[in-house]
Amino acid sequence: MAHAHAHGSGHGQPELPRGGVRRALRLALGLTVAFGVFEAFAGWAFNSLALLADAVHNVSDGAAIAIALAAAWAAGLPARGARTYGWRRAEVLAALVNGLGLVVVSIVILWQAADRLTGSSESVSGAGVLVVGLIGVVANGIPVLAMVKVAARDDLNLRAALLHALSDVLGSAAAALAGLLVLAFGWWRADPILGAAVGLLVLASAWHVIRESLRVLMEVAPRGHDPDAIGQTLADLPGVKEAHDLHVWTITSGMVALSVHLVARDGTDHDRLLHDAQELLGSRFGIVHTTVQIDRDHQRLLQIHRPGCPAAPASRS
């Protein structure tokens, strides 16, 4: 059996974030967590559910940014022994735990909001909530500007952190609005209502994190990488009779892997076909961590074929 294995440059360690990106992420982490802790104390002091909910949102987003930084660090650890991919999946597991924790927190926030809305009048310091909310808009806006300045279109970690920071700005703006409504109109219910709105924002973030983590753990083909389209493109290469046993999955954020068997037509240069397939996968689909096996047109079942496989050759007596 003639075959070849192509291991693309993706088998090396993923490139660590650039210095400017790392600085922006560290700034976002520091400001987000520091303000979240301050906001939690302010929420308790001013009896504001909106501030407490936004504080939880800030700290949870800080955890997400910490995961992005930890992923960059873990990616630099060498793969040793049984850990052939190193510690890259630790990012996904941490994100899943973070998402499940956020579900619990959001349920508590919504329960507290419902309890306050059905209870008697609450003593909420509108002025204090307004001031803290406005400080939050500034504190969360600084990391947004820093990340926008160094953002790259292909930097998935940074883009995710940027979305988290933007949602923190919205959460602080909601808290400031609650404080303004309490201060201007004495409408204390604005605080639990907008607190519940932030709780729903936390729940939406949690659902996104859990869904994406489970997609990776279940080895679902990553978004933007349609296996049928990739298989058809490979099958259309000159010298390819068919492509089968194609698998596309995500190892960790931004690291897509692929394996495939290509049946070559008679007279095809297997070396040339191997490099053409690798180049195509890298240039058109951005996949460089590849294992491509080139097969002759066999008359007997290969090990990869299962009974009933439509791509298997017909057996001959």
Per residue of the chain (317 residues), what is the pLDDT tens digit?
333 334 433 344 444 445 567 788 888 889 999 999 999 999 999 999 999 999 988 888 888 788 767 766 776 677 788 887 777 787 788 778 878 888 888 898 999 899 989 877 778 999 999 999 999 999 999 988 988 887 655 455 566 677 778 888 988 999 999 999 999 998 999 999 999 998 898 888 888 888 988 999 999 999 999 999 999 999 999 999 889 889 999 987 778 999 999 999 989 999 999 999 999 999 999 999 999 999 887 655 455 544 455 554 454 33
At residue 57, the pLDDT reads 85
Q: How far, in Å, CA of 52 to CA of 106, rounded?
A: 11
At residue 72, the pLDDT reads 63
At residue 297, the pLDDT reads 72
Reading the block at residue 9, the tokens are: 């440059």
Q: Report yes or no: 233 and 279 within 8 Å, Cβ to Cβ.
A: no
At residue 11, the pLDDT reads 44
Within the chain, all domains assigned CATH 1.20.1510.10 are found at 14-217
Nearest CA-CA partner of 6 in 270, 302, 241: 270
The radius of gyration of the chain's CA atoms, rounded to the nearest angstrom, is: 26
At residue 156, the pLDDT reads 55
Say which CATH superfamily domain 14-217 falls into. Cation efflux protein transmembrane domain (1.20.1510.10)
Within the chain, all domains assigned CATH 3.30.300.30 are found at 222-295
Q: How far, in Å, CA of 198 to CA of 213, rounded?
A: 22
Look at phi and psi of residue 286 and say left if phi exceeds 0, alpha if psi is from -120 to 50, else beta: left
Fill in the amino acid letter for 77: L
Q: What residues contact 306, with CB distance under 8 A and at least 6 apart?
A: 312
Q: Report yes or no: 213 and 204 within 8 Å, Cβ to Cβ.
A: no
Task: Out of 3.30.300.30, 3.30.70.240, 3.40.50.300, 3.20.20.140, select the CATH number for domain 222-295.
Answer: 3.30.300.30
Fill in the amino acid letter for 94: A
Surface-to-core class of residue 242, CB atoms within 10 Å of its CB (0-12 exposed, 13-18 middle, 19+ buried): middle
Nearest CA-CA partner of 13 in 99, 96, 97, 72: 72
